[in-house]
C-alpha cells in the first residue's frame, strides 16, 4: 500500500528537521575550532575565515534547506538545496545545487533520464514543506505534465530585492549556468526569460566549481545603474557567495581596482552627440596616438662616465633599442621601464668587449645611474593620463595632431570643451571622459584582469565602455547578458557580434533565451507589438506562465484627471499582494511623488530623484518596506514589480533623443510587470499600442 500524502509530508518534514540539526552541528563544530598557535597575523586570518564560515552555516527559518529530490537507478537518493549539509559522519544530507550530481535535478527528462527514476519537487511556505510533486521519468507520455509547484514559485509575488531561482532553474538555463570557466557566453534574452538571474547563478556556480582559481582572480558583476545593483545584490549572498563585487561601468572606471580610491570625480555632463562621439571606437586610436607620440627617435649619443672610462652608446643603436621596445606590444610605462635596462645592457657589452667581466649587479647599477635615467626620460617621457586627456579636450592643436585622419574637423570641434579649465584637477569631467581616461590608463599600464565578469544590459554600452569592461577580464571569461530590443542609448549595439568584438570576446558562445517566466502572456503580447519597429530581426518571446496576467488601458479625459486615474490604479493594486512600480516619464517624477504624498500613499523614489528616499528615512520609514515605488522611465531597466502602472507612454518615448530609442525605452518599461500592467494616458498612445485589439 502506498503511503498517504500526509505520511509522505510528515516523513519529509522529519528529514528537514534532521538536516537542520546537522547544519547546526556543522556550525558548532566550526565555532569550536581553536585558532591559537602560529603568529598573530595567521591567527587573525584564520579567525576571520572561521567567522565567515560560521555565518554561512546559519539556517534561514524562512526557507528550507532543500527544494527537491532525485531518486536514482543505483538506489541513491539526493536532496537538492542551496548549500551542502553533512551528518556527523560526513555523509551528505543535502547536496549543493551546484554539485555535479545536482545537474540531473535540472536537466533530466524522459528522453534522457540521466539515471533518475523519480524527481520530487517540494512546495515551501515560511520554511515548511507544505506540498510535493513526483515526476516519474520512466513513464512514457505524449504530453509532459506541468509542475504546479514550479508555476506557483515562478509566479510568487515579488517583494524587496531579486530572489535566487535555484528551485526553478529550467534545463536551457542550467546548461548556461554550468558552462565551463574557460568559456565565455553571450545570452540574448527577451524580457522575463531570467537572463539576469542566469548570469548571477552562473557566477555562483563558477565560484563553487572553480573556487581556488577564482579566489585569486575574483568575479565582478557589472550592471546598468545603482537601482539595478540594489535589486540584485542579495542574490549571490543568498547562495553563499558574499565576496563578489557589484558595480556599474561608471563606478568601475572612476575607482581603483579594489574600489578604495576615486581616480576621477565626475561633475559634468555631455550632450548625447558628444557622449556618442566619446564612446566611438575610433577614440581608441586617437588616444593610442596621443600616448605614444611622446616617444622620440634618439638623435644624440649617450655618454656614461664610470670610473676612468666614458662609455658612449651611439644614437643609431639607441634608436634601434627604442624602436624594438615600441614594437614589443607592451604597455607604454612597461616599455619605458625596460629602456634603462636595455641601454645598460648595451653598455655592458662594451665593457665585456674591453676585457671587463661585469655581472648583473653592474648592469643594474648602470640602469639606475643618473645619466641613463635622464637620457631615457628625454626620449621616453612619463605620461600622466589625466593631464594628457585634459590637453586633448582643451587644446585644439593637440587634438588635431592626434585625431588627423580619424575624426573630422566638425567632430574635433564637438569634442573640445567650450570653456576649458586651466588644469586637469579643476576640470568638470563627465562620465564619458572617465571611460576615455580608463583607456589612457590602460595604454600606459595594463588593467587588472578578473577571473570572470558578468555584464548585464550589455546592449546599451558604447564601444569604449565595452572596451573598458573587456579589459577587466582580458585573461578571464565573461557572461554577457542583454536584449537587442531593449537598447535604449543612441549608441546601442547593432548586433552581439559587434559587442563581443569590442569586449575582446569574439570566441564567445551566443545563445538565446526566449521562454518568458516573469512577464505574463497578456503583457508580453502587448509590448511585443513594438518589436517590428525596434528590432525587426528578433522573434517575439513566449510566456510559459499559466496565468495570463492582467492588462488595463485607462484613457484619461484631461491632463489633471490622469493623476486621479493613477491614484485609483495604485490603490487597486495595493489591494493585491506584491510590489508596485509607478513608472513615469523622468520629467514627471517630482509631480508623481507629490501626488502620492497628497493622497497619503507611502512610497519610495528610485534613480536620480532619490532624495525622496532621504526624506522618507527622516520620518523613520524604511523604503525597503514600502510596496510602492516611483520609477523614472530611464531607471526601470532590469527591475521588476508584481504590478506596474505606466503613465503617458508617448511622453516616455519622446523624451528620448530619437524615435527608435524612445520606442525601445517604452518596450523596457512595459515589460517590467510580473502580474499585471495598467497604462494610464491622456496623450494619444503610439500607433501600434493604440489598436483596439490590444485590449
Which pLDDT score, from 0 to 100, does residue 693 have?
A: 41
Give the pLDDT band of residue 358 (cuts 50, 70, 90): confident
**What is the grid cell recorded at 282?**
575610433
Which pLDDT score, from 0 to 100, does residue 613 have?
A: 41
pLDDT digits (tens, 9 = 90+) for 405-436: 999 999 999 999 988 777 877 788 999 999 99
Helices (H), 266-331: 272-278, 282-292, 315-326
The torsion of the CA quartet 88, 92, 93, 99, rounded to 10 degrees, works out to 140
Q: Do residues 453 and 476 touch, judged by C-beta distance below 8 A?
A: yes
User: Over 90: is that where the pLDDT of 180 sits?
Assistant: yes
**Could you give all domains of the chain from N- to C-terminal order, each with its CATH number?**
5-145 (no CATH), 168-257+447-517 (3.40.50.300), 302-379 (no CATH), 519-694 (3.40.50.300)
Give the pLDDT band of residue 555 (cuts 50, 70, 90): very high
pLDDT digits (tens, 9 = 90+) for 260-295: 678 889 999 999 899 999 999 999 999 999 999 999
Give the pLDDT band of residue 616 (cuts 50, 70, 90): very low
Which pLDDT score, from 0 to 100, does residue 149 have?
A: 79
Give the pLDDT band of residue 692 (cuts 50, 70, 90): low
The residue among 94 and 542 whose pLDDT is bigger is 94
Instruction: Enumerate residues 6+ apart whose C-beta is below 8 A from 492.
Output: 459, 460, 484, 661, 664
Which pLDDT score, from 0 to 100, does residue 163 have?
A: 76
Quote the CA–CA distance of 20 and 64 in Å, as a whole number.
9
User: Over 50: is that where the pLDDT of 110 sits?
Assistant: yes
Give the pLDDT band of residue 584 (cuts 50, 70, 90): very high
User: Over 60: is that where the pLDDT of 385 sits?
Assistant: yes
Which pLDDT score, from 0 to 100, does residue 160 have?
A: 59
Which helix (H) or strand (E) is 15 found in, with range? helix 5-31
Give the pLDDT band of residue 158 (cuts 50, 70, 90): low
User: Over 60: is that where the pLDDT of 46 sits?
Assistant: yes
Which pLDDT score, from 0 to 100, does residue 391 have?
A: 96
**DSSP secondary structure string, 551-610?**
EEEEE-SSTTHHHHHHHHHHHHHHTSSS-EEEEE-GGGHHHHHHHHHHTT---EE-GGGT
Per cent of the chain over pLDDT 90 is 68
| Helix/strand/coil for 624 | helix
For cell 589625466, what's the residue?
Answer: 386
Sheet containing strand 77-81, edge to edge, reads: 85-86, 92-96, 77-81, 66-72, 116-125, 128-136
Quote the CA–CA distance of 668 and 506 in Å, as a whole number.
27
The residue among 484 and 424 whose pLDDT is bigger is 484
Quote the CA–CA distance of 494 and 461 in Å, as a whole number.
11
Quote the CA–CA distance of 330 and 363 in Å, as a whole number.
22
Quote the CA–CA distance of 550 and 506 in Å, as a whole number.
41
| Helix/strand/coil for 429 | strand
pLDDT averaged over every residue in the chain? 89
What is the three-state SS of 189-220?
ECCCCCHHHHHHHHHHHHHHHCHHHHHHHCEE
**What is the grid cell recorded at 319?**
634608436
CA-to-CA dists, residue 499 to 93, 458, 486, 694, angstroms: 44, 8, 14, 34
Give the pLDDT band of residue 639 (cuts 50, 70, 90): confident
Which pLDDT score, from 0 to 100, does residue 143 have?
A: 54
User: Over 60: is that where the pLDDT of 212 sits?
Assistant: yes
The residue among 37 and 651 whose pLDDT is bigger is 651
Instruction: Enumerate residues 6+ apart whose C-beta is below 8 A from 179.
Output: 185, 202, 509
In this prediction the pTM is 0.86
Amino acid at each position: 500500500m502506498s503511503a498517504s500524502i500526509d505520511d509522505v509530508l510528515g516523513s519529509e518534514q522529519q528529514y528537514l528537521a534532521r538536516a537542520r540539526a546537522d547544519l547546526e552541528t556543522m556550525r558548532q563544530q566550526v565555532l569550536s575550532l581553536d585558532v591559537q598557535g602560529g603568529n598573530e597575523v595567521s591567527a587573525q586570518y584564520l579567525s576571520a575565515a572561521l567567522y565567515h564560515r560560521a555565518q554561512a552555516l546559519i539556517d534561514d527559518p524562512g526557507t528550507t534547506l532543500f527544494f527537491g529530490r532525485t531518486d536514482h537507478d543505483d538506489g541513491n537518493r539526493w536532496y537538492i538545496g542551496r548549500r551542502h549539509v553533512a551528518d556527523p559522519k560526513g555523509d551528505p544530507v543535502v547536496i549543493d545545487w551546484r554539485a555535479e550530481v545536482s545537474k540531473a535535478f535540472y536537466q533530466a527528462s524522459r528522453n534522457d533520464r540521466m539515471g533518475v527514476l523519480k524527481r520530487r519537487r517540494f512546495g515551501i511556505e515560511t520554511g515548511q514543506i507544505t506540498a510535493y510533486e513526483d515526476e516519474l521519468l520512466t513513464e512514457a507520455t505524449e504530453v509532459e505534465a506541468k509542475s504546479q509547484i514550479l508555476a506557483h514559485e515562478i509566479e510568487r509575488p515579488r517583494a524587496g530585492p531579486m530572489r535566487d531561482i535555484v528551485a526553478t532553474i529550467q534545463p536551457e538555463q542550467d546548461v548556461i549556468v554550468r558552462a565551463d570557466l574557460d568559456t565565455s557566453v553571450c545570452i540574448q534574452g527577451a524580457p522575463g526569460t531570467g537572463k539576469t538571474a542566469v548570469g548571477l547563478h552562473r557566477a555562483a556556480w563558477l565560484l563553487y566549481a572553480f573556487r581556488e582559481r577564482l579566489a585569486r582572480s575574483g568575479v565582478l558583476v557589472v550592471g546598468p545603474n545603482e537601482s539595478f545593483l540594489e535589486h540584485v545584490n542579495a542574490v549571490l549572498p543568498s547562495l553563499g557567495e558574499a565576496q563578489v563585487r557589484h558595480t556599474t561601468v561608471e563606478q568601475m572606471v572612476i575607482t581603483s581596482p579594489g574600489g578604495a580610491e576615486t581616480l576621477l570625480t565626475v561633475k559634468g555632463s555631455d550632450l548625447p552627440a558628444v557622449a556618442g562621439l566619446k564612446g566611438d571606437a575610433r577614440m581608441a586610436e586617437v588616444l593610442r596616438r596621443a600616448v605614444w607620440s611622446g616617444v622620440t627617435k634618439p638623435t644624440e649619443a649617450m655618454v656614461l662616465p664610470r670610473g676612468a672610462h666614458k662609455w658612449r652608446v651611439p644614437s643609431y643603436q639607441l634608436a634601434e633599442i627604442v624602436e624594438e621596445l615600441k614594437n614589443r606590444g607592451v604597455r607604454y610605462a612597461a616599455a619605458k621601464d625596460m629602456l634603462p635596462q636595455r641601454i645598460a645592457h648595451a653598455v655592458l657589452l662594451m665593457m665585456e668587449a674591453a676585457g671587463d667581466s661585469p655581472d648583473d649587479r653592474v648592469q643594474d647599477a648602470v640602469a639606475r645611474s643618473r645619466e641613463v635615467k635622464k637620457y631615457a626620460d628625454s626620449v621616453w617621457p612619463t605620461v600622466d593620463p589625466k593631464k594628457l586627456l585634459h590637453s586633448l579636450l582643451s587644446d585644439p592643436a593637440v587634438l588635431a595632431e592626434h585625431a588627423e585622419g580619424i575624426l573630422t574637423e566638425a567632430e574635433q570641434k564637438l569634442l573640445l570643451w567650450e570653456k576649458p579649465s586651466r588644469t586637469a584637477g579643476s576640470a568638470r569631467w563627465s562620465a564619458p571622459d572617465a571611460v576615455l581616461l580608463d583607456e589612457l590608463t590602460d595604454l600606459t599600464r595594463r588593467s587588472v584582469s578578473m577571473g570572470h565578469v558578468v555584464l548585464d544590459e550589455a546592449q546599451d554600452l558604447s564601444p569604449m565602455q565595452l572596451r573598458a569592461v573587456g579589459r577587466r577580464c582580458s585573461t578571464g571569461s565573461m557572461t554577457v547578458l542583454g536584449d537587442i530590443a531593449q537598447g535604449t542609448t543612441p549608441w546601442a549595439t547593432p548586433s552581439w557580434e559587434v559587442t563581443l568584438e569590442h569586449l575582446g570576446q569574439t570566441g564567445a558562445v551566443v545563445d538565446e533565451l526566449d521562454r518568458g517566466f516573469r512577464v505574463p502572456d497578456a503583457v508580453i503580447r502587448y509590448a511585443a507589438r513594438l518589436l517590428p519597429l525596434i528590432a525587426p530581426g528578433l522573434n517575439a518571446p513566449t510566456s510559459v506562465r499559466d496565468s495570463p496576467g492582467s492588462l488595463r488601458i485607462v484613457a484619461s479625459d484631461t491632463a489633471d484627471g490622469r493623476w486621479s486615474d493613477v491614484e485609483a490604479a495604485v490603490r487597486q493594486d495595493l489591494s493585491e499582494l506584491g510590489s508596485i512600480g509607478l513608472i513615469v516619464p523622468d520629467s514627471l517624477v517630482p509631480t508623481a511623488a507629490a501626488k502620492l504624498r497628497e493622497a497619503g500613499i507611502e512610497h519610495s523614489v528610485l534613480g536620480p530623484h532619490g532624495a525622496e528616499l532621504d526624506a522618507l528615512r527622516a520620518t523613520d520609514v524604511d523604503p525597503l518596506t514600502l510596496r510602492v515605488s516611483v520609477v523614472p522611465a530611464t531607471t526601470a531597466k532590469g527591475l521588476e514589480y508584481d504590478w506596474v502602472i505606466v503613465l503617458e507612454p508617448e511622453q516616455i518615448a519622446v523624451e528620448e533623443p530619437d524615435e527608435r530609442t524612445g520606442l525601445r525605452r517604452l518596450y523596457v518599461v512595459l515589460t517590467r510587470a510580473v502580474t499585471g500592467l495598467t497604462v494610464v494616458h491622456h496623450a494619444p498612445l503610439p500607433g501600434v499600442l493604440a489598436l483596439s485589439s490590444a485590449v
